[in-house]
Amino acid sequence: MLSFETNPPLSLYIHLPWCVKKCPYCDFNSHAINKEAFPEAAYIDALISDLESELPRIWGRPIGSIFIGGGTPSLFSAEAINRLMVALRERLTFYHHIEVTMEANPGTAEVERFKAYRESGINRLSIGVQSFNDEKLKVLGRIHNSTEAKAAVAMAKDAGFDEINIDLMFGLPEQSIDEAMSDLEMAMEQQPSHLSWYQLTIEPNTIFYSKPPVLPDDDLLWSMQKQGQAYLSDSGFSQYEVSAYARHGTTGVDHQCKHNLNYWQFGDYLGIGAGAHGKLTHVAEGKIERYARHRIPQSYIEKITQKNAITETRSLNRDELPLEFMMNALRLNEGFHPSLFIENTGLPLSDIQKPLQEAEKKSMIEWNINKIKPTEFGRRYLNDLIQFFIK
Amino acid sequence: MQNIRNFSIIAHIDHGKSTLADRFIQHCGALTEREMADQVLDSMDLERERGITIKSQSVSLDYKAKNGASYQLNLIDTPGHVDFGYEVSRSLAACDGALLVVDASQGVEAQSVANCLTAVDLDLEILPVLNKIDLPSSDPERVLQEIEEIIGIDTTNTVQVSAKTGLGVEALLEQIIEVIPPPSGSEDAPLRALIIDSWFDNYLGVVSLVRVVDGCLPAGKKMRVMSTGRDHLVDEVGVFTPKRHAQKVLKTGQVGYVISGIKDLGGAPVGDTLTLVEDPASEALTGFQEIKPKVFAGMYPVDSSDYEAFRDALTKLKLNDASLHFEPETSQALGFGFRCGFLGMLHMEIIQERLEREYDMSLIITAPTVVYEVETTNGEVLTVDNPAKLPPSDKIKEIREPIIYADILVPQDYLGNVISLCIEKRGVQKKLQYLGNQISLGFELPMSEVVLDFFDRLKSASRGYASFDYNFLRFQASSLVKLDILINGDRVDALSIITHQEQSRNRGHELTAKIKEFIPRQMFDVAIQAAIGSKILSRHSVKALRKNVTAKCYGGDISRKRKLLEKQKAGKKRMKKFGSVEIPQDAFMAILHVGRNR
């Protein structure tokens, strides 16, 4: 049995699984939309019953952040999103400074709709730009072009969003270092508050996996990353996680993504929607459980009415918790306070004494009473570092 | 006794020996259609997968001949690969005749020649059989001529068959009765039974395949193993049909099995003679020469805590394979393991695969080597089967390497290729003789050049048509040196090889290049150097991995990412650590891959 003083912070993830079309690199649970048979209302209903059936599990716990992801959530009408937000507020306690992010794609952006989203309580938009190069966008199977991408960010600003993230990739098929840098420069010109800048990786069950494109080699990728990071730092963006960069805030304002930070700090999250995953701590029972739901939207909707949307519940055991914690927490440039491990895994620090020492010996972490932090070397070979924690 | 025929089949790999055996079994109705898994005699999974026979097997068949009489046909199946030649001569010793099966289109191959000559030496009646005559490419006339010219036996009795279609099989069975003599032996004399093979069965203990030469061997009596003088109660005797089939007694001339509660193979050594305690024979039969391993390699468990389990596994394997030798050794690089002796490379591969499959061992095998004789400056002569054990060069007067004589048969078209190969392998030509379409080549070659990849190279140089057999000749002084491999400056003893001075630079270059291919990129640059003494001959390096990071991880389903990390870690566990460098198992065998693409 694990031993907890109190519950970790709780977030809510809501999955909206439709896209205009499926991109060749995407391995998320997303499905091409059929406009005639788009069950928008039924899906919102399903989400609300899904949430209701979960309420007993999270009774009394305030929500620190919400992330509406996909898919392309911006395919949903303002009315639908508003109905969802109202339902959430009626049933959950929100922290005063709650962060509510929604993902939007430039091909589906409309300023009026963005305004309505903002009014319904969404306060952060994450825009899936991926690249500002039209040719690359085509290769990536995106439905937008560079002009639309820029317009989408402008619309978000017009609609009143202060917190705007741009999702951008590097290491695109046949990308040169100049092209990668030019993408970053364009992104900076749009003045977002946050940038997710991550390397394209080929995942199983994608079109790119079966027909691999020619990607830049290791050396080139490394140069892109080094040069890009230096440029972002000069542009006032600091990296706080492997692929996450936040604009330096004015006093008291922090532009880091609270929702993702909660994942990386091994907080709890409730996941609702088709294929959503959740992780919840049960203080009284001394256990941490992971849940998964039906992936196919239609069967998810059907199963919800039968109160039977969960396909898998798994209790994490003592041996696997250190790994799961480190897979997340060591992604943070600043690492974590040792007490975070104790609080959020329910394990004593002695459980990871040995791997910590090994990692320290290899100069992959710095470790003192107040901090466990990956070194630059540790961040560079993060997978090797994390492997110390596999039992 | 007059109605018993003991015979064996001599054939080259792929010439259809096992298929023919299956036909016999089928024809004599020993198994139902359903029981006829293809090639029933190759009972090990490995044998069936590789399409080769490793262990000798026997089967007793009842054949009702056209003359109305019933005959017991005892077929002793024999391995066809050069590594297992010793099993062939053992099997032959139990027979009165042999079928020489030759592929009617491919013609005679060196292997069959060698085995056939052994049979001739043992005074066996040889019945030539041309197989695969249904193939359009078959050329019986030419092949018959080859048999006469190369082996020098009469081919008047030759039977033409197609084991695949069954054509001619009955005629062949009739001919066996006609041509192969019944066993000779005295029914009244005290029992003398020759142990042809022994193996260990988990349920039965040691099972021995024997030929009763004189007298008879009944179940329930006490028998004596003549070399050890130990007495055992005979629990069961019988024949394989090919199912185990118990009988009351094994009579004079019969080939069958004996089970007597012997617990280890040493208790029933192959080539030994069994007699009865109540009426013992005075003289044992002539046994077989003990076979000596030709190739040695170190075998080490990847996880050193598996050492004891590894010892157990080897001990168990040895129960069934008397030709496997092993003794403990230690390596600075690899820790505790065993130096194992094998009959050849195929034998080594088979042992390795069996250890991995049947005993779930994860092993590192070092570069195989032959045995060298080393004369030291103070006149001592050492036998060295491990390059790491070579004395320092200033203490060596000379190193002598084993030389073999290779008999090669090759169609004319590939003669040039084969000769160049032999010369590349430091061979000295001794014979060249035209025999029909084939040429018989004789070469003296260093054994070290032959055991590694010669067989494969010969096959590719001749599009599979050349065949060879070899015998040990002598030890001969040669300018040999120890080539060391250094990983990031540290000598890895398990990677050292002994090589000819003239080849050392090339070898060093090829070896370091090959090892480079096997070592995955890691967090640091890895330098691989080849050196003789302190002199560096060549260097390759594996560039450091730029980074190893998962780009995205946002809560959700992290199980796949976890599995990837766990897989990476498991991969590392299978590697050996030298300082901070991780070297995979395969790298230790790099020498075998030199000159080949991965």
Span B260-300, pLDDT tens digits: 888 877 788 878 899 999 989 888 888 776 677 888 999 99
Quick check: B497 and B483 in contact, CB under 8 A?
yes
Q: Is B577 on the interface with A (CB under 8 A)?
A: no
* Amino acid, single-letter form, for residue B10: I
**Does B552 touch chain A if contact means CB atoms closer than 8 Å?**
yes
Contact B572 A387 (CB under 8 A): yes
Q: Does B77 have pLDDT greater than 80?
A: no
Let me know: does B49 contact B67? Beta carbons within 8 Å.
no
Which of the residues B549, B552, B561, B565 would you substitute to probe the A interface, choosing the one with the greatest number of A C-beta atoms within 10 Å? B549
Same domain for A158 and A71, yes or no, is yes
In a domain, A341, yes or no: yes
Rounded to 5°, the CA angle B29-B32-B38 comes to: 100
Query: Largest Cα–Cα distance of chain B, in whole Å?
Result: 87
Do A88 and A154 belong to one domain? yes
CA–CA min distance A264, chain B (Å) = 8
Q: Which of A16-20, A162-166, B250-254, B332-336 has the lowest mean pLDDT?
A: B332-336
Whether B563 has its CB under 8 Å from any CB of chain A: the answer is no
B579 interfaces chain A, CB cutoff of 8 Å: no
Q: Which residues of A touch B (CB under 8 A)?
A: 13, 198-201, 204, 218-219, 221-222, 225, 242-243, 260, 262-264, 269, 271, 276-277, 279, 292, 320, 323-324, 327-328, 331, 379-384, 386-387, 390
Report chain A residues whose CB lies below 8 A from the CB of B546: 218-219, 221-222, 380
For residue A212, being part of any structural domain is answered with yes
Instruction: Calculate the alpha carbon distances from A177 to A139, A184, A197, A233, B489 in Å.
Output: 17, 11, 14, 17, 36
| CB-CB contact of A391 with A323 (8 Å) | yes
Is residue A179 included in any domain, yes or no? yes
Residues of chain A with pLDDT under 70: 251-253
* CA A59 – CA B242 distance, rounded (Å): 72
Query: Is the Cβ–Cβ distance between A383 and B549 less than 8 Å?
Result: yes
Q: Do residues A126 and A215 both lie within one domain?
A: yes
The verdict on residue A307 lying in a domain is no
The CA angle A83-A89-A91, to the nearest 5 degrees, is 105
Say if CB B483 and CB B508 are below 8 A apart: yes
Cβ–Cβ gap A327/B553 under 8 Å: yes
Closest Cα in chain A to B559: A324
User: Taking phi first (over 0 means left), then psi (-120 to 50 degrees means alpha), and beta for anything else, what does residue A130 get?
Assistant: left
The number of domains in chain A is 2
- The candidate with the shortest Cα–Cα distance to A183, out of A166, A193, A168, is A168
CA dihedral A301, A305, A307, A313 (to 10 degrees): -10
- For the domain that residue A104 is a member of, what is the CATH number? 3.20.20.70
Confidence band of B108 (pLDDT split at 50, 70, 90): confident
**Set of chain A residues whose Cβ sits within 8 Å of the Cβ of B561:** 327
Measured in degrees and rounded to the nearest 5, phi and psi for residue A69 equal -120, 180
Q: What Å distances lie between residue B235 and A288, B205, B221, B246, CA to CA? A: 61, 11, 8, 10
Enumerate the residues of chain B whose CB falls inside 8 A of the CB of residue A199: 551
CA distance A172 to chain B (A): 13
DSSP H or E segment with residue A6: none
Q: Among A331-345, A351-365, B137-151, B527-541, whose mean pLDDT is lowest?
A: B137-151
B14-42 pLDDT, tens per residue?
677 778 888 888 888 766 555 555 545 54
Answer yes or no: is A270 within a domain: no
Q: For residue B557, list chain A residues with Cβ-Cβ distance below 8 A.
A: 277, 292
Q: A382 and A251 share a domain?
A: no
Same structural domain, A256 and A325 = no
B569, A380: Cβ pair inside 8 Å? no
Average pLDDT rounded to a whole number, residues B373-379 = 93
Do both A355 and A244 map to the same domain? no
Question: Shortest Cα distance from B360 to chain A (angstroms)?
Answer: 21
B525 touching A (Cβ < 8 Å): no
pLDDT of residue B14: 67
Predicted pLDDT of residue B181: 92
Å between A173 CA and nearest CA of chain B = 16
B523 contact A CB<8A = yes
Residues from chain A contacting residue B547 (CB–CB below 8 Å): 222, 225, 380-381
Task: Indicate if A237 and A165 belong to the same structural domain.
Answer: yes
Residue A298 belongs to some domain of the structure: no
Cβ pair A219:B552 closer than 8 A: no
Q: Are B303 and B336 in contact (CB under 8 A)?
A: no
Res B52: pLDDT: 45
Q: Give the helix ranges, DSSP H, for B134-262.
A: 140-146, 169-179
Q: In angstroms, rounded to a whole number, what is the distance separating the alpha carbons of residues B77 and B92?
A: 10
Judgement on whether residues A92 and A190 belong to the same structural domain of the protein: yes
- C-alpha distance from residue A355 to each of B302, B394, B571 (Å): 21, 47, 18
Q: Please, what is the Cα angle at A168 between A165 and A173, to 5 degrees?
A: 170
Same-domain status, A196 and A332: no
Say if B557 is an interface residue toward chain A (CB within 8 Å).
yes
Q: To 10 degrees, what angle do helices A146-158 and A111-119 make?
A: 40
Which residues of A fall within a CB distance of 8 Å from B545?
218, 381
Structure-token pair, residue B568: 């990476």
Indicate whether A1 belongs to any domain: no
Mutate one of B521, B523, B553, B562 to test the A interface: name it (highest A CB count within 10 A): B553
Tell me the C-alpha distance between B56 and B65, whole Å: 27
Look at B51 and B28; give whichever has higher pLDDT: B28
What was the pLDDT predicted at B332?
82
Of the listed ranges A252-256, B94-98, B415-419, the least confidently predicted one is A252-256
Select from B419, B407, B410, B469 the least CA-distant residue to B438: B410
Question: Which residue of A199, A262, A277 is in closest CB contact with B557?
Answer: A277
Q: Which of B545, B551, B569 sits opposite A390 (nearest CB)?
A: B569
Whether A238 and A326 map to the same domain: the answer is: no
As a whole number, the mean pLDDT across chain B is: 85
Structure tokens given for A190 = 């749009």
| Cβ contact, residue pair B548, A382, below 8 Å | yes
A207 and A106 co-located in one domain: yes
**Range of weakest confidence among B296-305, B387-396, B433-442, B500-509:** B433-442
Query: pLDDT band for position B90 (50/70/90)?
Result: confident
Considering A226, A248, A263, which residue would you say is the last residue of a domain?
A: A263
Q: Indicate the Cα dihedral angle B225, B231, B234, B239, nearest 10°.
A: -10
Listed ranges B122-126, B241-245, B414-418; the one with the highest mean pLDDT? B414-418
**Left if phi > 0, otherwise alpha if psi is -120 to 50, otherwise beta: which for B180?**
beta
The ipTM (two decimal places) reads: 0.93
Going by DSSP bridges, is the β-strand pair A63-70/A94-104 parallel, antiparallel, or unpaired?
Answer: parallel
Contact A50, A309 (CB under 8 A): yes
Q: What are phi and psi of A169, to 5 degrees?
A: -115, 155
User: Worst-scoring range by mean pLDDT, A338-342, B20-24, B175-179, B422-426?
Assistant: B20-24
Contact yes or no for B408/B454 (Cβ under 8 A): no
Please name the residue that has the structure tokens 């305690």. B277
- The last residue of a domain, from among A263, A287, A303: A263
Coil/strand/helix, residue A245: strand
A217 and A361, same structural domain?
Answer: no
Three-state SS across B379-445?
A: CCEEEECCHHHCCCHHHEEEEEEEEEEEEEEEEHHHHHHHHHHHHHCCCEEEEEEEECCEEEEEEEE
Q: Is residue A299 part of a domain?
A: no
Residue of higher predicted confidence among A208 and B362: A208
* Inter-chain residue contact A387 with B569, CB threshold 8 Å: yes
What is the percent of chain B where pLDDT is above 90?
32
Give the integer Cα–Cα distance in Å for B271 and B280. Answer: 17
**In the prediction, which pLDDT does B146 show?**
85
State the best of B545, B557, B581 to mutate against chain A, taking most chain A CBs within 10 Å.
B557
Angle between helices A78-91 and A40-54 (to 10 degrees): 10
pLDDT beyond 50 at B68: yes
What are the helix (H) ranges across B251-392?
Answer: 307-320, 345-358
Distance CA B586, CA B598 (A): 11
**CA-CA distance, B252 to B239, in Å (whole number)?**
13
DSSP code at position A317: P
Q: State the DSSP H helix or E strand holding residue B152, giving kind and residue range, or none if neither.
A: none
- Nearest CA among A275, A284, A355 for reference residue A310: A275
- CATH value at residue A368: 1.10.10.10
Bridge partners for B497 per DSSP: B483
Contact A218 B555 (CB under 8 A): no
Backbone torsion region of residue A276, taken as left when φ is above 0, otherwise alpha when ψ lies between -120 and 50, otherwise beta: beta
Burial B335-364 (b: 16+ CB within 10 A, else e): bebbbbbbbbbbbbbbbbebbeeebebebb
- Closest residue on chain B to A364 (Cα): B523
Whether residues A382 and B554 touch (CB distance < 8 A) is answered with no
Q: Considering only A269-283, B82-96, B527-541, which range has the smallest mean pLDDT?
A: B82-96
Domain that holds residue A243: 10-263
What is the 3 state secondary structure string of B171-182? HHHHHHHHHCCC
DSSP class of B589: G
